[in-house]
Amino acid sequence: MNIHEYQSKGILREYGVNVPAGKPAFTVEEAVKAAEELGSKVTVVKSQIHAGGRGKGTIKGNESMHGVMLAKSTDDVKKYAEALLGQVLVTKQTGPEGKKVGRLLIEAGSNIKKEYYFSFVVDRTQGRVVMMGSSEGGTSIEEVAAKTPEKIITDTIDPAIGLASFQAQRMAYAIGIPQPAVRKATATFLKLYDAFIGKDCSQVEINPLVVTEEDDVICLDAKLNFDDSALFRHPDVVELRDESEEDPKELEASALGLNYVNLGGDVACMVNGAGLAMATVDILKHFGGDPANFLDIGGGASPEETAEAFKIMLEGGQAKGIFVNIFGGINRCDLVAEGIIAAAKLVSKDGGKSMPVPVVVRLEGTNVDKGRELLKNTPIQNVIMAESMQGGAEQIVKLVKEAEKA
Amino acid sequence: MSVLINKDTKVIVQGITGKAATFHTKQMISYGTKIVGGVTPGKAGQVVEGVPVFNTVRDAVKATGATASVIYVPAKFAADSILEAIEAELELVVCITEHIPVLDMVKVRRYLEGKKTRLIGPNCPGIMTSGEAMMGIIPGMIQEKGHVGLISRSGTLTYEAAYQLKNAGIGVTTAIGIGGDPVKGTDFIDALKLFKDDPETKALLMIGEIGGNAEEDAAKWIAENMPDKPVTAFIAGRQAPPGKRMGHAGAIIAGGKGTAADKIKALNAVGIEVADTVAHIGETVVRTLKAKGLYDVCHTC
C-alpha cells in the first residue's frame, strides 16, 4: 500500500524524525491559511499524488507549472494552489495520462547545503533489510545506479540485532555527511529504521535527505510503502488509504477479495491462480489481443463471486470479450461451469440466454468432462467451449477484433 | 529415487484441525503420504483422518518420529509455526500459507541459519514425488512418474506444466513449488542443487515469474554447475506493468528490475530455451529432451 508524502512525514514525526514544518491542504483557502500559519520566508507548494518525479512533472495544458513550486509570498501560494488543485499532473512515473492533484502539502522551505539519498528496502535474495545511501541526492536512485553505481553505499541489517549505531554512523561517513551533522544523521537513520520495522514497511525512501546551512539533518521528501500482508496489525496505516488514487475497478475488486489489475485493453480474462493468470494475459497479447486485466479468482470461487468478476470486467464497456482459463486442481471444473451458468443469469440482459460479449471457456483438469457436459447442456449464446488453451486464446482475440470492426 | 520426500517420509500436519488442512490431509493420505500426526494447540487427544493430534510440534515428533511437517496455519500465526518446526529439528518444513508478513519471514530466515531444517515456501502448493508422497495442496492426478524435475514459483502453473508433460508422455520425479513470496525458504538454486544430486532426475523444468532476480541467478548457476542436465523454462508476466503486484506478493517489477524480458534474456544466454507461451511448455520440454537425446529415457508415461 502507498500513502501520500504528507502522511509519510506524519508517521516519521511520530518516530521523532526531523521533517519540515508543513500542513496538507485540500482547497486554495486551506493552502493560504497553512502558509500564513507557517510564516516562513519561502514556502513550498507540493502536489500530493502517488507517483514520483513531481518536481520535474508539469500540469497538463499549463506546462510552465510544475508539481512542486517555490512560493515567496502568500499571494504566490494562492496562485500556485489555484493552478495545481484539480488539475492533471504528468510526471515520468504517471504515464502520459497523468494524475489528478487533489491535495497539496504546504511546507516551510529549508536552507539546503547539500542533498543526499537514503532508504531501507527488503533484499529478497538475502532475506534481510538493506540500508542504502548515496551522496547523490535529489535524482532517482535508478539513474545513480546506472551512471555511478560506486556512489551507492549499501549495508545489510541483521534482524536479530536491528540497525546497529556503528552501521548508521558508518553510513553517514560513507556518503559524506559533514562532521558537525554526523550525530544527527546517525540518529535520523536509527529512527527511520524504527519506523520501517514498526510499521511493517516494504520501503522507506528519503530523497533528498538534506543537511542545512545550520547543519541540521532534515528529511525533505519521504516515501513510505507498506507490506500489504502486514496491514492487519496497522489499522492506523489502513486509514491513510486514498481511494481516489486507485483504479475504481481495482478498488471494487479488492473489496470483493478478488485479485484484479486493470491493464486498460479490451480482451478480458478470468483465471484461477496468480501464475496462470499472468501467463494468460501474456498469451492473449502473444496472439495479438490487447489484455484488459489480470484476474485471479483463486481456488474455490462461488457462482456469485464469478458473476461479480464478470460485472467488473464488463463495467464501462471495457471488455469486448472474456477468456475463462481454468485448470481444475483441487477446485473442480464442474463447479466452475456451474459458476459460469449462474453468472450468465446475473449479468445477461435476457435471463441467462446470452452473454453480452463473447465468452470463450477453456476447462482442464479435475472433472473436466462433467464441466464441459454442463455447459453443453445449458447452451448460452456467446459462450463457447475451447478445445485447448492456445485455441481458446486465439479464438477470443479473433472474436474481439470482429466485434471492433462491427 | 526422488528429492525431499518419498513414500517412507513421516509427516505431521500443523494446523490439522482447520477445514482446509483436514481436507488436504485426506488428499495427502490417499496419495500415499505417510501422515503420522497433527498439531493444533489445545486439541491434543483428538483424532483427525485417523491420525492423533498434539498440542506442540515437539510432542508430535516425540510420539511419532516425524521428520517433516506441512503447515496450513493462518498467516497471522504461520511464521511462529515455522519457528516451532525448525526448533523441533524437523528436516523438512513445507509452508502453504499465503500472506505472511515479509518482516516475519525475515526473522524466520535468520532463525534458519545454522539449523538442519529445509524450508519450502511459504505461499506455495507444496511438493509431490510422483506415485509416492505429496505434502501440500497439489492435485494427485497432474503428474506421472518419470525423470524430469519441476521447480515453480506458482501453484496453478505447476499443475498446468506437469499436466502438459503428462499428456506429452513425460513423467516427473518430484515437483517443488517454491512459492510466490519475496522472502522464502528455498529458491531456484537451492532446489536445483537437490535435483543435481538425484540420479533419477535427467532434466529440469523451471517456472519463474516477474520480480526479483532468482531466475537470472539460477541461469548463471546452471551454466557453471550443471552442464549434464538440460533445463527448460517458462516465465510468467511478460505483459505485467511496472510497480503492480500481480497476485503473488513477490511478483512485482520494482525500479525497472525483475522484468520477464531480463529473465528470458539471462536464461537464453546460457542456452536454456524459454517457452513462448504457457500453452507451449510441454512441447518446449519435449524439444529440449529430443535435442539432448533424452527423450526416449524420459518418455515414461
CA-CA-CA-CA torsion sign (B48, B52, B57, B61)? negative
Chain A positions in Cβ-Cβ contact with residue B241 (cut-off 8 Å):
261, 263
Cα distance between residue A355 and residue A166, in whole Å: 65
Contacts 24+ apart (CB under 8 A), A342-349: A342/A303, A342/A304, A342/A306, A342/A307, A343/A303, A343/A306, A343/A307, A343/A309, A343/A310, A344/A380, A344/A383, A345/A307, A346/A304, A346/A307, A346/A310, A346/A311, A347/A307, A347/A310, A347/A311, A347/A314, A348/A380
The cell numbers describing B218, all together, are 539460477
Distance from CA of B14 to the nearest CA of A (A): 20
| Domain map (residue ranges) of chain A | 21-108, 112-238, 248-405
Partner residue opposite B103 with nearest CB, options A124, A227, A291: A227
**If you search the block for the grid coordinates 453480452, which residue do you land on?**
A356
Please, are residues A131 and A150 in contact by the beta-carbon 8 Å criterion?
no
Q: For an interface test with A, which of B124, B189, B239, B264 has the most A Cβ atoms less than 10 Å from its Cβ?
A: B239
Cα distance between residue A32 and residue B128, in whole Å: 65
**CA nearest B182 in A: which residue?**
A124
What share of chain A in percent tops pLDDT 70? Answer: 99
Distance from CA of B139 to the nearest CA of A (A): 5
pLDDT, tens digit, 9 for 90 and up, residues A288-312: 999 999 999 876 677 788 888 999 9
Partner residue opposite B159 with nearest CB, options A160, A327, A388: A327
Region(s) of chain B under CATH 3.40.50.720: 10-120
Partner residue opposite B279 with nearest CB, options A273, A329, A389: A389
| Beta-carbon separation of B209 and A283 below 8 A | no
Average pLDDT over residues A209-219: 97
Chain B, window 105-124: residues with a beta carbon less than 8 angstroms from a chain A beta carbon: 105-107, 109-110
Please, are residues A125 and B214 in contact by the beta-carbon 8 Å criterion?
yes
Chain B positions in Cβ-Cβ contact with residue A365 (cut-off 8 Å):
139, 141-142, 159, 163
Specify the 3-state DSSP secondary structure of B164: helix
Q: What is the ipTM of this complex?
A: 0.95
What share of chain A in percent tops pLDDT 90? Answer: 77
Other beta carbons within 10 Å of A160:
9
Residue type at B193 in one-letter notation: K
CATH architecture for residues B10-120 = 3-Layer(aba) Sandwich (3.40)
Output the pLDDT for position A300. 66
CATH of domain B139-298: 3.40.50.261
Of the pLDDT bands very low, low, confident and very high (cuts 50, 70, 90), residue B1 is: low
pTM: 0.94
Region(s) of chain B under CATH 3.40.50.261: 139-298
Average pLDDT over residues A243-253: 91
**If you search the block for the grid coordinates 545454522, which residue do you land on?**
B114
Average pLDDT over residues A132-151: 91
Homologous superfamily (CATH) of A248-405 is: Succinyl-CoA synthetase domains (3.40.50.261)
Please, are residues B123 and B248 in contact by the beta-carbon 8 Å criterion?
yes
Output the pLDDT for position A142. 85
| CA distances from residue B268 to A285, B105, B231, B291 in whole angstroms, order as listed | 21, 32, 11, 16
| Beta-carbon separation of A276 and B141 below 8 A | no
Ranges of beta strands (E only) in B91-202 are 92-95, 118-120, 126-129, 133-136, 145-152, 172-177
Specify the 3-state DSSP secondary structure of A272: coil
pLDDT, tens digit, 9 for 90 and up, residues A16-46: 999 999 999 999 999 999 999 999 999 999 9
| CA distances from residue A327 to A56, A362, B23, B236, B276 in whole angstroms, order as listed | 47, 8, 19, 16, 19
Average pLDDT, chain B: 96
A205 in active site: yes
pLDDT for A377 beyond 70: yes
Cα distance between residue A295 and residue A275, in whole Å: 10
Average pLDDT, chain A: 93
Output the pLDDT for position A329. 77
pLDDT, tens digit, 9 for 90 and up, residues B283-294: 999 999 999 999
Strand order of the β-sheet with A104-108 is A22-25, A104-108, A43-47, A68-71
| Beta-carbon separation of A275 and B247 below 8 A | yes
What residue spans of B181-279 are helical by DSSP H? 188-196, 214-225, 260-269
The cell numbers describing A96, all together, are 502520459
| Beta-carbon separation of A294 and B255 below 8 A | no
B63 interfaces chain A, CB cutoff of 8 Å: no
Cα distance between residue A53 and residue A45, in whole Å: 15
- A:B CB pairs within 8 Å: 175
Q: Burial level of B169, CB count in 10 A (0-12/13-18/19+)?
A: middle
Cα distance between residue A219 and residue B74, in whole Å: 38
Partner residue opposite B154 with nearest CB, options A158, A261, A275: A275
Output the pLDDT for position A333. 86
pLDDT for A343 beyond 90: no
| Beta-carbon separation of A286 and B109 below 8 A | no
Cα distance between residue A269 and residue A321, in whole Å: 8
Residue type at A64 in one-letter notation: S
Cα distance between residue A108 and residue A86, in whole Å: 23
Cα distance between residue A277 and residue A296, in whole Å: 6
**CA nearest A393 in B: which residue?**
B279
Q: For an interface test with B, which of A141, A200, A207, A278 has the most B Cβ atoms less than 10 Å from its Cβ?
A: A278
Average pLDDT over residues B178-199: 97
Residue type at B222 in one-letter notation: I
| Beta-carbon separation of B109 and A200 below 8 A | no
Distance from CA of B76 to the nearest CA of A (A): 9
Distant-in-sequence, close-in-space partners of B1: CB < 8 Å, separation ≥ 6:
B173, B198, B199, B200
Cα distance between residue A21 and residue B257, in whole Å: 35
Cα distance between residue B175 and residue B131, in whole Å: 12
Cα distance between residue B223 and residue B216, in whole Å: 11
Homologous superfamily (CATH) of A112-238 is: ATP-grasp fold, B domain (3.30.470.20)
**CA nearest A326 in B: which residue?**
B156
Output the pLDDT for position A342. 85
Chain B, window 210-229: residues with a beta carbon less than 8 angstroms from a chain A beta carbon: 210-214, 217
B31 interfaces chain A, CB cutoff of 8 Å: no
Distance from CA of B166 to the nearest CA of A (A): 12
Least confident of A267-271, A309-313, A366-370: A366-370
B77 interfaces chain A, CB cutoff of 8 Å: no
Smallest CA-to-CA distance from B15 within B68, B73, B77, B56 is with B73
Output the pLDDT for position A77. 97
Chain B positions in Cβ-Cβ contact with residue A160 (cut-off 8 Å):
110
Residues of B with catalytic roles? 248
pLDDT for A348 beyond 90: no
B131 interfaces chain A, CB cutoff of 8 Å: no
| Beta-carbon separation of B278 and A329 below 8 A | no
Cα distance between residue B187 and residue B209, in whole Å: 13
Of the pLDDT bands very low, low, confident and very high (cuts 50, 70, 90), residue A141 is: confident
Top CATH class, A21-108:
alpha beta
Cα distance between residue A33 and residue A30, in whole Å: 5
Q: What distance lies between CA A315 and its chain's CA centroid?
A: 22
pLDDT for A97 beyond 70: yes
pLDDT, tens digit, 9 for 90 and up, residues A328-338: 877 788 888 88
Cα distance between residue B238 and residue B240, in whole Å: 6
pLDDT for A50 beyond 70: yes
Cα distance between residue A224 and residue A200, in whole Å: 10
pLDDT, tens digit, 9 for 90 and up, residues A156-183: 999 999 999 999 999 999 999 999 999 9
Cα distance between residue B107 and residue A365, in whole Å: 38
Smallest CA-to-CA distance from A274 within B197, B280, B154, B96 is with B154
Cα distance between residue B152 and residue B124, in whole Å: 9
Cα distance between residue A389 and residue A286, in whole Å: 13
pLDDT, tens digit, 9 for 90 and up, residues A222-238: 999 999 999 999 999 99
pLDDT, tens digit, 9 for 90 and up, residues B50-82: 999 999 999 999 999 999 999 999 999 999 999
Please, are residues A340 and A305 in contact by the beta-carbon 8 Å criterion?
no
Specify the 3-state DSSP secondary structure of B243: coil
